[in-house]
Amino acid sequence: MVRDGEVIGEGWHAELGDLHAERAALADCAERGEGPAGATMYVSLEPCAHTGRQPPCVEAILEAGISRVVIASDDPSEKAAGRGPGILRDGGVEVEFAAGEEATAARLLNQAFRKHARTGLPLVTLKMAMSLDGETTTAPGDSPWISGERSRELVHRWRAESDAIAVGIGTALADDPLLTARAPGARQPLRVVFDRRARLPLDSRLVGTLDQAPVLVVTGAEADPPRSGSLRDAGVDTLVTEGIEAALADLGRRGVTSLFLEGGRTLAAAFQAADQLYEARTVIAPILLGVESAASRAGGVGEGGPRTEAQPPPAGPPSTATGPARRDALSYAVETVGDDVLITARFKEW
């Protein structure tokens, strides 16, 4: 909130169920001893007008006597969709929508929310790491890592920012990954394995660390019932479905709005065929591996470790969608992360 060019209160939606940004900003204003009446409030998303886990923000804005609200982006959810701005205008508040770069930045900031609100599906981001000669795995006995330490730290931050992480069973069998966000105080996402035949071993590190983060195994109709039952008995959640879209719909119903895809090429190709990739983050390391194995051709990077077996297709439920293999990015950025190069390419906007 701003008055006479000075910030008198700030706030953000810190976590699910906590104060929304508008009410948090009003609380901050009170802590500073500032009165909000007559001030201008700048918001990245239009204020809500319905009761959910928190009461409507438009009520708090009207009660506070805010005279002007500048909104950076609309709320596409069915319960909102313009109701808040209308109520504010009826209450005598001047309402203005931002345009240009500010509006674009605000929409990009809330892409996971926007896709989930419009489709019920989570936003999918693909992460890959490769050498200069295009290899995604190292040779047996070599260092398990392709990317550098700073890139790996960045990946753990991305994990903590996601609601769920997904790999295929080939990556799970070859790397035995943890898929946890290993950073101080990091939020642990749901760990998802696309495993059509329920082959995830009970002695895997994923099953052995259920006390750290939950695991969901997505199987197909051909999954062996005793195997699925053993996983459930161990505390693993299972989902029987066919198709990437059906699996994403189930994740969306569970409240997952963002999915971080760390599986191999087979799983990535299935999501691409389903036209569900929002963004790709590819780390290119300044090394030549010279490895051309069945594992590297069929697999990909899970935890970045060496392959002990090829990743047998299909890694998970097949896509029921068909589409062109090529996807041209809407935008891309190139930056250095330590000794590596990170290419971030965005393919959609919601």
| 177-214 pLDDT, tens digit each | 999 999 888 999 999 999 999 999 999 999 999 999 99
Query: Does 45 lie in the same domain as 170?
Result: no
Of the candidates 90, 109, 128, which is a domain's last residue? 109
Give the mean pLDDT of 82-86: 90
| CA proximity to 340, closest of 282, 296, 276, 279 | 282
- CA pair distance 333, 329, nearest whole angstrom: 10
- Residue 342: what are its φ and ψ, rounded to 5°? -110, 125
Report whether pLDDT(312) > 60.
no
- The one-letter code for the residue type at 204 is S
Q: Could you tell me if 8 and 32 are in contact, meaning their C-beta atoms sit under 8 angstroms apart?
A: yes
Query: Does 173 lie in the same domain as 47?
Result: no
Q: What is the pLDDT of residue 50?
A: 87
Q: Could you tell me if 167 and 194 are in contact, meaning their C-beta atoms sit under 8 angstroms apart?
A: yes
- Residue 198: what are its φ and ψ, rounded to 5°? 55, 50
Q: What is the pLDDT of residue 317?
A: 52
Dihedral-angle region of residue 22 (phi above 0 means left; psi in -120 to 50 means alpha; beta otherwise): alpha
Query: Does 207 lie in the same domain as 188?
Result: yes
Stronger pLDDT, 30 or 141, i.e. the higher one: 30
Lowest average pLDDT, out of 127-136, 154-163, 190-199, 228-237, goes to: 127-136
Query: Does 167 lie in the same domain as 45?
Result: no
Query: Does 303 lie in the same domain as 186?
Result: yes
Question: C-alpha distances in angstroms, 53 versus 15, 177, 215?
Answer: 11, 35, 26
Stronger pLDDT, 16 or 310, i.e. the higher one: 16
Q: What is the pLDDT of residue 161?
A: 94
Count CB neighbours of 56 within 10 A.
20
Report whether pLDDT(283) > 60.
yes
- How would you label 73-108 residue by residue, b for 16+ Cβ within 10 Å and e otherwise? bbbbbeebeebbbebbeeeebebeebeeeebeebbe
Report whether pLDDT(263) > 80.
no
Report whether pLDDT(294) > 60.
no
Kindly name the residue from 22, 135, 245, 303 that is annotated as catalytic: 22
- CA pair distance 200, 228, nearest whole angstrom: 9
Provide, rounded to the nearest whole percent, the portion of the chain with pLDDT above 70. Answer: 90
Query: Does 335 lie in the same domain as 203?
Result: yes
Q: What is the pLDDT of residue 306?
A: 31
Query: Does 334 lie in the same domain as 220?
Result: yes
Is 22 a known active-site residue? yes
Q: What is the pLDDT of residue 229?
A: 97
CATH number, residue 105: 3.40.140.10
Q: What is the pLDDT of residue 297?
A: 44
Query: Does 83 lie in the same domain as 125?
Result: no
Q: What is the pLDDT of residue 311?
A: 35
Q: What is the pLDDT of residue 14?
A: 83
Query: Does 239 lie in the same domain as 171?
Result: yes
Report whether pLDDT(304) > 70.
no
Give the mean pLDDT of 60-87: 92
Query: Does 276 lie in the same domain as 217?
Result: yes
Of the candidates 109, 130, 161, which is a domain's last residue? 109
Band (291; pLDDT cuts 50, 70, 90) = low
Report whether pLDDT(126) > 70.
yes
Query: Does 116 lie in the same domain as 103?
Result: no
| 11-70 pLDDT, tens digit each | 998 887 889 999 999 999 999 999 999 999 999 999 999 888 889 999 999 999 999 999
Query: Does 77 lie in the same domain as 12?
Result: yes
- CA pair distance 9, 1, nearest whole angstrom: 5
As for how many domains the chain has, the answer is 2
Maximum pairwise Cα distance, the chain: 70
Q: What is the pLDDT of residue 295?
A: 44
* DSSP characters over 145-208: -SS-HHHHHHHHHHHHHSSEEEEEHHHHHHH-------STTPPPPEEEEE-TT----TTSHHHH
- CA pair distance 153, 223, nearest whole angstrom: 36
Lowest average pLDDT, out of 72-76, 254-258, 313-317, goes to: 313-317
- CA pair distance 243, 230, nearest whole angstrom: 23
Band (325; pLDDT cuts 50, 70, 90) = low
Report whether pLDDT(319) > 70.
no
Give the mean pLDDT of 89-103: 94
Place of tokens 């161990």: 234
CATH number, residue 342: 3.40.430.10
| 245-260 pLDDT, tens digit each | 999 999 999 999 999 9
Of the candidates 109, 139, 173, which is a domain's last residue? 109
Any residues with CB less than 8 A from the CB of 102 and at least 6 apart, and which?
A: 72
Report whether pLDDT(160) > 80.
yes
Mean pLDDT, the chain, rounded, equals 88
Please report the beta strands in the chain, taking only residues with DSSP state E, as ranges in sequence order.
Answer: 2-3, 6-7, 40-43, 68-71, 94-97, 123-130, 164-168, 190-194, 215-219, 237-240, 258-261, 277-284, 331-337, 340-346
pTM: 0.84
Q: Which domain holds residue 44?
A: 2-109
